[in-house]
């Protein structure tokens, strides 16, 4: 479209991104996110800087060909800026740090159950995202939660172990796929569409799922072999349910001000109180079942 004086009107950032995705110009998309991130950072909008720079990093890290086209100058500056953002008091940093501190007081099984409760709250979202091309593995989260919870009490079958391993591998591969950063999205009643790429926040929900499941598989293997030194559970999965990229992208400002984020923070600390009490497997199972029916975006 042309203006009154024949000059081509500048595209909005959203139109520019959509055009690059449509053309599958992934190097161009990474550069666009980098430019948006540097502009936001220079303006002091650190949450948006976090959002856009991490998106750029994810894309150029996905494939060697993209990496080479983007070039070292942009990549080095992007990495340096991301390092600077890690020192800021953003929700992206503050909540995981608090969770890690509290996890130091917990026994290994309690940390694992805490993580499972977070994964359970992603089940409904995962089922909807699984309808998008290349994202089918996200529809396996409900089964994975049930399998891992059972296997903390009873050894799994070889078939279930192999299926969980397949889910683990597919989650890792998802982050490097065009299905992840190519623009796929689902409608959200009463809100802006949720993009698959919105899972990129908090170090990548898909990657933290992969890490959690990989650790669980190593635990099961060690138990089956009678190994005395078992892999230690991590707490990184717990904060991923905040989905801050979605709220920064669609609402701007401070993600912790979004009602959905506040509600999820309450659930995280409620889960902490639950697992600090005597652990009753039946009650934990009921809590997981309830969470699996939750629409976390409401």
State the residue for tokens 């934990």: 284
pLDDT (0 to 100) of residue 3 = 45
Query: Tens digit of pLDDT for each residue in 153-183?
Result: 999 999 999 999 999 999 999 999 999 999 9
Residue count (the chain)? 298
**Quick check: 37 pLDDT over 50?**
yes
Query: Tens digit of pLDDT for each residue in 61-103?
Result: 999 999 999 999 999 999 999 999 999 999 999 999 999 999 9
Q: Which two tokens stand for residue 148?
A: 């891992």
**d(C-alpha 44, C-alpha 85), whole Å:** 11
**d(C-alpha 298, C-alpha 283), whole Å:** 25
- The contacts of residue 216 (CB under 8 Å, 6+ apart) are 112, 148, 151, 164
125: Cα separation from own chain's centroid = 12
Contact assessment for residue 50 and residue 90, using Cβ atoms and an 8 Å cutoff: yes
């Amino acid at each position: 479209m042309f203006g009154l004086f024949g000059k081509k009107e500048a595209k909005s950032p959203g139109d520019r991104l959509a055009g690059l995705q449509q053309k599958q110009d992934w190097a161009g998309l990474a550069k666009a996110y980098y430019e948006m991130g540097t502009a936001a950072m220079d303006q002091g909008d650190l949450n948006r800087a976090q959002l856009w720079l991490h998106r750029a990093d994810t894309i150029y890290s996905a494939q060697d060909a993209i990496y080479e086209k983007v070039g070292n100058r942009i990549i080095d500056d992007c990495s340096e800026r991301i390092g600077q953002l890690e020192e800021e008091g953003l929700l992206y940093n503050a909540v995981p740090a608090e969770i890690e501190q509290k996890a130091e007081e917990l026994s290994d099984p309690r940390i694992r159950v805490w993580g499972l409760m977070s994964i359970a709250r992603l089940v409904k979202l995962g089922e909807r995202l699984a309808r998008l091309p290349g994202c089918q593995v996200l529809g396996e989260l409900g089964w994975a939660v049930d399998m891992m919870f059972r296997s903390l009490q009873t050894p799994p079958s070889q078939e279930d172990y192999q299926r969980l391993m397949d889910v683990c591998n597919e989650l890792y591969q998802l982050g490097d796929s065009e299905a992840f950063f190519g623009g796929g999205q689902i409608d959200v009643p009463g809100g802006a569409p949720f993009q698959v790429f919105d899972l990129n926040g908090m170090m990548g929900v898909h990657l933290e799922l992969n890490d959690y499941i990989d650790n669980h598989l190593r635990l099961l293997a060690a138990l089956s072999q009678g190994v005395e030194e078992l892999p230690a559970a991590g707490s990184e999965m717990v904060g991923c349910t905040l989905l801050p990229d979605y709220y920064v992208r669609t609402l701007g400002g401070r993600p912790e001000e979004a009602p959905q984020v506040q509600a999820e923070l309450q659930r995280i600390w409620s889960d902490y109180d639950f697992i600090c009490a005597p652990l009753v497997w039946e009650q934990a199972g009921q809590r997981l079942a309830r969470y699996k029916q939750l629409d976390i975006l409401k």
